[in-house]
């Protein structure tokens, strides 16, 4: 944009009105903090609900039920589901949550058969602490998703209780699947006894299909199989399932994108206002620079660079603070036992900063062009 030798000029102009510059940077930072936080929520929704070509998981739920407390299916459906052509594996899961409403701090217990864990869910996870053996040894053992463990400050060997169930932490899991990051995996029979006082009832079946293109066909076959049973099923891809169950929450999060755009407009207005004031203060100075031989284009670029620096500093501050907050709090939206993570990575940080710079440049353009086009002699007359 400008050569290195002109940078001291830009820096001196920014620090010239320290209070004004600091307030502008803070304003931009607050707006970008909100923008990044909103984008992190939007990303979480996209990650959990947008289907990809590689998706091969189906969720079998009780028909016309949308809450883990009301979806009850016989565990013996498992054998019939496993027998369907195209099904690679199926796992019955009992889901219990400590809070069925939308919340930022929900503990979701997922009861899974001890012998099926490794061949099904175990395929997608890595242990950051503890081992599968530790989990298998104790009936009250739980494997915690890393987000849940971090949010609750739990480590291997701890005990904790939620929803009236006390478990022993046998391991901490890492996973790329959003639904694995915020759960406590326990033994199915343990959870059934704790909640139902009897065995044989599960909330859902997670079914792995051999070919993503066969998801529709297999789901239809499952639902047809149990259509006339006492507990009919409704089978969807895992992401479609999340999208339906958490639709209210997703709609709400979707609305926040307008707030995000509002934040960007705020950045534009803040930087624009600061630069307009700054340029108005320096009409004569710019005329002096032009008298010395500074071309109009260079004057314009100096002003745009000032605006871009204000945007960059505010963006860096706001986006970094948002990332730090998200990383430290490990919050995620949960509804009906499903988790929508709030995630901010380096890409989002870079996006926030790039947008701040771009908005700074945009905000500086008009005053820069005006300053560059003003006839020199009239500037001296005007002041």
- Reduced to 3 states, what is the DSSP secondary structure of residue 61? strand
285 binds other proteins (CB under 8 A): yes
CA distances from 261 to 31, 112, 255, 256 (A): 10, 43, 11, 9
Does the footprint of other proteins cover residue 7 (CB under 8 A)? no
Q: Which stretch binds other proteins (CB under 8 A): 271-279, 293-301, 311-319, 351-359?
A: 293-301
**292 belongs to the binding site for other proteins (CB under 8 A):** yes
Tell me how far apart the alpha carbons of residues 148 and 144 are, in angstroms, rounded to a whole number.
6
Q: Is the separation of the CB atoms in 168 and 138 below 8 Å?
A: yes
Alpha helices, DSSP H, located in the chain = 7-16, 18-49, 77-82, 132-137, 146-152, 178-181, 188-195, 215-225, 238-245, 247-281, 283-291, 296-329, 346-373, 376-382
Smaller CB distance to other proteins: residue 46 or 377? 377
Q: Does 198 bind other proteins (CB under 8 A)?
A: no
List the one residue from 12, 18, 101, 197 that touches other proteins (CB under 8 A).
12
Distance CA 57, CA 14 (A): 55
* Site stretch for other proteins (CB under 8 A), options 8-16, 65-73, 74-82, 352-360: 8-16
382 binds other proteins (CB under 8 A): no
In the complex with other proteins, the residue whose CB is nearer, 284 or 327, is 284
Is 280 a binder of other proteins (CB under 8 A)?
Answer: no
Whether residue 359 contacts residue 271, with contact meaning beta carbons closer than 8 Å, is answered with yes
From candidates 70, 131, 280, 291, binder to other proteins by CB under 8 A: 291
Residue corresponding to tokens 């009832």: 201
Count CA atoms within 13 Å of residue 63 on its CB side.
15
Binding of residue 53 to other proteins (CB under 8 A): no
Residue count of the chain:
383
> Which one of the spans 4-12, 87-95, 128-136, 246-254 is the region binding other proteins (CB under 8 A)?
4-12
The reply on whether position 296 binds other proteins by CB under 8 A is yes
Q: CB-side exposure of 272: number of CA atoms within 13 Å?
A: 14
**Residues 157, 200, 345, 375: which binds other proteins (CB under 8 A)?**
375
Q: Based on CB atoms, which residue is closest to other proteins, 139 or 378?
A: 378
Q: Is 197 a binder of other proteins (CB under 8 A)?
A: no
Q: Which stretch binds other proteins (CB under 8 A): 45-53, 156-164, 245-253, 288-296?
A: 288-296
The whole-angstrom separation of Cα 42 and Cα 253 is 7
- Site track for other proteins across 239-278, x = CB under 8 A: ----------------------------------------
Segment 176 to 195, residues that bind other proteins, using CB under 8 A = none
Number of shown-chain residues binding other proteins (CB under 8 A): 24
Verify binding: residue 294, other proteins, rule CB under 8 A. Answer: yes
Q: Would you count residue 293 as binding other proteins (CB under 8 A)? A: yes
Stretch that binds other proteins, among 155-163, 259-267, 280-288, 327-335 (CB under 8 A): 280-288
Q: Residue 207 and residue 213: Cα distance in Å, rounded? A: 14
When the beta carbons of 350 and 383 are compared against other proteins, the nearer one is 383
Q: Check residue 370 for interaction with other proteins (CB under 8 A).
A: no
Q: What is the DSSP letter of 74?
A: E
Q: How far apart are CA 56 and CA 200, in angstroms?
A: 26
Q: Rounded CA gap, 127 and 144, in Å?
A: 10
Contact between 36 and 260 (Cβ < 8 Å) = no
Q: Does 6 bind other proteins (CB under 8 A)?
A: yes
* Footprint of other proteins (CB under 8 A): 5-6, 8-9, 12-13, 15-16, 284-285, 287-297, 375-377
């Amino acid at each position: 944009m400008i050569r290195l030798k002109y940078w001291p000029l830009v820096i001196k102009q920014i620090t010239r009105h320290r209070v004004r510059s600091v307030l502008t940077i803070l304003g931009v930072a607050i707006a970008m903090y909100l923008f990044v936080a909103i984008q992190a929520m939007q990303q979480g929704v996209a990650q959990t609900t947008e289907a990809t070509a590689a998706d091969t998981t189906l969720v079998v739920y009780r028909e016309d039920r949308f809450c883990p407390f009301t979806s009850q299916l016989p565990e013996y459906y498992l054998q019939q589901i496993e027998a369907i052509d195209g099904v690679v594996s199926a796992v019955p899961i009992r889901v219990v949550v400590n809070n069925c409403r939308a919340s930022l701090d929900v503990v979701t217990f997922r009861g899974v058969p001890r012998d099926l864990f490794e061949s099904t869910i175990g395929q997608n996870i890595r242990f950051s602490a503890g081992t599968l053996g530790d989990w298998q040894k104790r009936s009250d053992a739980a494997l915690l998703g890393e987000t849940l463990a971090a949010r609750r400050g739990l480590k291997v060997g701890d005990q904790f209780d939620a929803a009236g169930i006390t478990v022993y932490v046998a391991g901490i899991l890492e996973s790329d699947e959003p639904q694995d990051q915020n759960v406590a995996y326990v033994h199915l029979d343990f959870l059934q006894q704790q909640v139902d006082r009897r065995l044989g009832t599960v909330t859902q079946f997670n079914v792995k299909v051999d070919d993503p293109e066969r998801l529709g066909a297999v789901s239809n076959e499952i639902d047809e199989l149990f259509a006339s049973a006492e507990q009919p099923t409704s089978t969807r891809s895992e992401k479609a399932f999340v999208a339906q169950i958490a639709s209210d929450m997703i709609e709400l999060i979707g609305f926040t994108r307008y707030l995000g755009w509002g934040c960007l407009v705020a950045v534009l207005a803040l930087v624009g206002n600061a630069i307009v004031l700054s340029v108005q203060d320096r009409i004569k100075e710019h005329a002096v620079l032009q008298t010395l031989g500074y071309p109009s284009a260079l004057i314009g670029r100096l002003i745009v660079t000032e605006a871009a620096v204000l945007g960059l500093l505010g963006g860096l501050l706001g986006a970094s603070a948002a990332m730090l907050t998200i990383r430290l709090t490990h919050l995620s939206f949960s509804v009906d036992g499903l988790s929508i993570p709030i995630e901010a990575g380096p890409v989002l940080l870079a996006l926030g900063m790039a947008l701040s710079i771009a908005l700074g440049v945009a905000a500086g353009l008009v005053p820069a062009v005006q300053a560059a086009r003003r006839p020199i002699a009239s500037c001296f007359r005007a002041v």
